[in-house]
Chain A
Amino acid sequence: MTDFLLELRSEEIPARMQVKAKEDLARLFNDALAKAGLAAASVETFATPRRLALIAYGLPLATEAVSEETKGPKVGAPPQAMEGFLRKSGLSQDQLIERDGVYYAVVEKAGRQTADVLAEAIPAIIRAFPWPKSQRWGAASVSTESLRWVRPLQGIVALLGDAVVHCEIDGIVSGAETMGHRFHHSGAITIGNAGDYIEKLRAAHVLVHFSERCRIIRDGANAAAKAAGLHLVEDEGLVIENAGLTEWPVPMLGRFESAFLDVPQEVIQLTARVNQKYFVCQDKTGKLANAFVCTANIDAHDKGAAIVAGNEKVLAARLSDAKFFWEQDLKVALDSQAQKLAQITFQEKLGTVADKVERVAKIARWLVTERIVTGATADQAERAARLCKADLVTGMVGEFPELQGIMGGYYARAQGESDAIADAIRDHYKPVGQGDDVPTAPVTVAVSLADKLDTLAQFFSAGMPPTGSKDPFALRRAAIGFLSLLLQNELRCSLKDMLVATGAGASFDTLEEFLVDRLKVQQREAGVRHDLIDAVFSLGGEDDLVWLLSRVKALQAYITNAEGTNLLAAYKRAANILKQADGGEKSSVAPAQAGAHHVSQSGTTDEMGSSLRWSDADLGIEESALRTALDAAEPKAAAALSVEDFEGAMAALATLRAPIDAFFEGVMVNDPDQDKRAFRLGLLARFRDAVSRVADFSKIEG
């Protein structure tokens, strides 16, 4: 057993790709070993900006010898078949083994040296590596077939035990030498074996463990903030990004002029984080402080004074740009900004953003006047809608598109709009996808819902629904947003009415189907079964999603307990018998009339060639019990349904469980007496229909 070290050293690997690259390296390596019949006791991977590395612990030095047997032709097969088999196996006929009248070729494969397996595997891994983007470089790139890597590959260290595993790819030859930190260590370092890799690089100012660099950044940034009497705003994404940008991370605190704190804190945070990869800090009261933490990649001679000064200058320049935009934007009323939206195309076929705003304002107003959204006035909803996109033409949003909405909220408040309106402008893009906060403030709900409704209805009626993996207008996200708003706020309205109110075209069948599909996807995460959604939705006639979903949930609660499971089984049994009786036509068995002692003269029963004439005295106990139970349960269930009490309806149906079970137990439906048979089928049809009024049980799986 021995250990193996592989290091692929390159020019700077993008930070965002390093974590995934570690996983890919381990996977490709393990696959290559497995293919050769090898396995390591464990594999550890490393990534820095300049290297991707792996140590495999406990590798055998050679693969085991194996004997492979191949089946050949039968004894007495035509000579051509034998010739072909011998050619393929490289043996002569007397070397074959005969067993049960069949020839077999047995080839003894000697074990392979692990070093040889690795020497083949390394170039294959490099060529197959799934970088999100890769490039060619250098003189070899005169051919487009030349080696590709994320950035130019500089060197390969491959050591099995203390010995170099020799391989070569596009002129890069494996060896034992690597480089240390770009600035702290000049010249090559010779690695002895996997065991000294980590420490030799540490001595050369390279921390190869990604997680160690993360820890140093996390702890160091917190400590730097604390030393200044501040609190770091933690950001694990930034920790990982900075770890991907450094081999020797050194977090340091810098300051900026407190005058910049006039600028909305989202702007400061965004420019610090996105543009500069800095952490921001808060003071003791939780307000943004005029300080940041940057992460350098060197231990500077002057303890970082010049680096901090430089970073402070860069941030100051960015903040002064932001402050300029903030002050300029404040000089223009949102109403006049909104007029400029007429020059921005929303979508080629769907007019300008101003056109969209006009539509959204109308829908938002309608949602309030129809009392679908309550707690807001129609004027508030319309005002907020008219201003909600105005920030798109401000300087700040031009510079930081991520701040759309947020800036509009600030500008609205600054020009004296009410909090309800400013909040609605700020939050109307929400929720952005699954998991985002769902607005509950009435004005916000009206505008946000109107915006999403308009987008969905317009794109669908213009014939641009998402297809497969292509969703260029983020309509799936809009649909999830729409549904979340509806469900969270329990907005009661017919879906069709809402779609008609958008004024976009006449037919919304595909859109409705799309929304129900999205609802299933969304609800799957909440643990709601899609077949139950189908079971309730296919009843038809009702398209109030909130109502339908609460019905689904009641159904799910019922159908997953023992009683519900039995009822479902009984339903399936009844439905099957009825189906067979009809030769496939489900609905043609007429349900026996409720409470009727004599069931007859219905056209359908006549079609079955029978009429039913007998008195209660003729009824068996089970038939009678089931009929009594149905007589009692049907009106109860109907009454419960009429007040949307699904649990009540389910409870009423639950009383049918024992009688139906007993019925199946004690009664033979397909009695030779056609009258009896028809009556029993009628009872079953009544049972089926009673259950079906609550949900289409035929859609339920299991």
Chain B
Amino acid sequence: MSDIAPLSFQDLILTLHDYWGKQGCAILQPYDMEMGAGTFHTATTLRALGPAPWNAAFVQPSRRPTDGRYGENPNRLGAYYQYQVILKPSPPNLQELYLGSLEAIGIDPLLHDIRFVEDDWESPTLGAWGLGWEVWCDGMEVTQFTYFQQMGGFDCKPVSGELTYGLERLAMYIQNKDSIFDLVYNNATADRPAVTYGDIFRENEQQMSTYHFEVADTDMLFDAFKKATAECESCLQHALPIPAYEQAIKASHIFNILQARGVISVQERASYMGRVRDLAKGSCQAWMDKNGWAV
């Protein structure tokens, strides 16, 4: 590590905002719905479609109910933060831009072993796939790097480059911590001490784990899933792809909670995922139609 103090969690985000802002990205805010990954943000999913150039960066809180560990596992969370960058079309120097961002947050590539290891990305619920890598820093996966080839079942014309940084992992790396909960979140002053990630989020992890694994009312959730799918279809009939897509996101999250609750069998799992995929694809189709891109 360098001599200067490592970045706090919030400074890590601010540094990335600054870096990607300077590369011409629109710095967006998180999508205000529960979702499993930054890829679900309309700034990625819908904007990856069609010919218009698009460059954006944002933090997306990501909820993974099944990964919750009641705040007891130092490496796993039921809710965490992804930093997402999307550049369309993918620029020829995307790898160099990405490596520049690592240097900006204090990772020296002649001190640390940065590697691009094959990892093809596929999202069955979004009908999307791409080729790329997981980026390793000293053996730890810190970023998913993907060239989108298809989204919602449509060929990406042109291809977007998508970067997804795991913020907690990067911060643990930069700050040299063994537990997510020990991460320094902000910057201390003379009279105001710094708080840790655990100070802020451990209670959330504990309560949300209990809720997702033990308490969530499954009848209510099954019903909500049905209602979200019906609402999505109704929006599609009205040629409103964005609200339709929001209902698809909602259905996807409800499905994730039902999974955590352990009430969806292996067999049913595929059929639920298929339904979410149909909703997401339908929304993408409507988006293409609305913009006159579908041939």
Q: Which residue numbers of A lie inside 8 Å of B, CB to CB?
A: 11-12, 14-16, 49, 133-144, 150-152, 154, 182-184, 245, 276, 278, 294, 296-298, 300-302, 306-307, 309-311, 313-317, 320-321, 324, 343-345, 348
Contacts and interface: CB of A to CB of B under 8 A. Distances in A.
Contacts of B95: 11
A298 B110 contact: yes
Nearest to A143: B157
A452 to B, nearest CB: 22
B139 A138 contact: no
Contacts of A278: 139
A310 B267 contact: no
Contacts of A276: 139
B265 A138 contact: no
B113 A296 contact: yes
17 contacts: A12-B116, A135-B147, A135-B149, A137-B89, A138-B91, A141-B90, A141-B159, A144-B155, A184-B110, A298-B113, A301-B110, A307-B111, A307-B138, A310-B113, A310-B139, A313-B138, A315-B139
A286 to B, nearest CB: 26
B20 interface: no
B137 A141 contact: no
Contacts of A300: 110-113
A151 B173 CA distance: 28
A183 B110 contact: yes
Given A137-B90, A142-B51, A142-B158, A317 B113 contact: no
Nearest to A50: B116
A136 B132 CA distance: 11
B118 interface: yes
A291 B159 CA distance: 43
A11 B155 CA distance: 22
Interface string B67-109: 0000001111000000000000111100100010000000011
A310 B110 contact: no
B120 interface: yes
Contacts of B294: none
Given A137-B147, A141-B89, A311-B139, A345 B265 contact: yes
Nearest to B120: A133
A154 B90 CA distance: 13
Given A300-B113, A310-B140, A324-B73, A133 B266 contact: no
Contacts of A133: 120, 131
Contacts of B133: 12
B149 A306 contact: no
A314 B149 contact: no
A302 B112 CA distance: 10
B6 to A, nearest CB: 13
B149 A311 contact: no
A14 B114 CA distance: 15
Given A138-B91, A141-B89, A345-B265, 13 more contacts: A135-B131, A141-B157, A142-B157, A151-B131, A151-B147, A297-B114, A300-B113, A306-B112, A310-B112, A310-B113, A311-B138, A324-B73, A348-B267
A133 B121 CA distance: 12
Nearest to B116: A12
A16 B118 CA distance: 9
Contacts of A320: 74-75
B28 interface: no
B117 A245 contact: yes
B141 to A, nearest CB: 9
B89 A138 contact: yes
A151 B99 CA distance: 17
B265 A310 contact: no
A138 B51 contact: no
Contact of B90 (A138, A298, A302, A316): A138
B235 interface: no
Interface of B: 1, 51, 73-76, 89-92, 95, 99, 108-118, 120, 130-133, 137-140, 147, 149, 155-159, 161, 173, 178, 265-267
* Shortest Cβ-Cβ A-B pairs, 3 listed: A310-B138, A14-B118, A12-B116
A304 to B, nearest CB: 8
A227 to B, nearest CB: 20
A546 B234 CA distance: 65
Contacts of A16: 118
Per DSSP, are chain B's interface residues mostly helix, strand or loop, or mixed? loop
Contact of B75 (A310, A321, A348): A321
A11 B131 CA distance: 12
B139 A294 contact: yes
Q: Which of A138, A141, A302, A316: most chain B CB closer than 10 A?
A: A141
Given A183-B114, A313-B178, A137 B159 contact: yes
Nearest to A17: B118
Contacts of A313: 138, 140, 178
Given A137-B147, A344-B266, A15 B118 contact: yes
Nearest to B95: A11
A539 to B, nearest CB: 46
A245 B138 contact: no
Contact of A314 (B139, B158, B265, B266): B139
Nearest to A317: B75
B149 A136 contact: yes
A297 B115 contact: yes
A135 B265 CA distance: 35
Contacts of A348: 267
A133 B150 CA distance: 14
A70 B205 CA distance: 83
Given A133-B131, A317-B75, A138 B159 contact: yes
Contacts of B109: 182-183, 298
A136 B159 contact: yes
A133 B129 CA distance: 12
A300 B138 CA distance: 11
Contacts of A184: 110
A59 B267 CA distance: 61
A412 to B, nearest CB: 24
Contacts of B116: 11-12, 49
B266 A345 contact: yes
Contacts of A182: 99, 109, 114
Nearest to A344: B266
A298 B266 CA distance: 44
B173 A152 contact: no
B139 A152 contact: no
Contacts of A306: 1, 111-112, 138
A301 B111 contact: yes
A345 B116 CA distance: 37
Given A14-B118, A135-B149, A307 B112 contact: yes
B89 A142 contact: yes
Contacts of B139: 276, 278, 294, 310-311, 314-315
Contacts of B76: 321
A92 B158 CA distance: 52
Q: Which of A15, A296, A297, A310: most chain B CB closer than 10 A?
A: A310
Contacts of B157: 141-144
B34 to A, nearest CB: 24
A296 B110 CA distance: 11
A301 B110 CA distance: 6
A49 B112 CA distance: 18
Contact of B265 (A140, A297, A316, A343): A343
Contacts of A142: 51, 89, 157-158
Q: Which of B74, B95, B133, B139: most chain A CB closer than 10 A?
A: B139
A316 B116 CA distance: 22
A662 B273 CA distance: 78
Contacts of B131: 133-135, 150-151
A619 to B, nearest CB: 77
Contacts of B130: 135
A389 B120 CA distance: 31
A297 B137 CA distance: 11
A150 B95 CA distance: 15
Contacts of A14: 118
Contacts of A309: 138
A141 B156 contact: yes
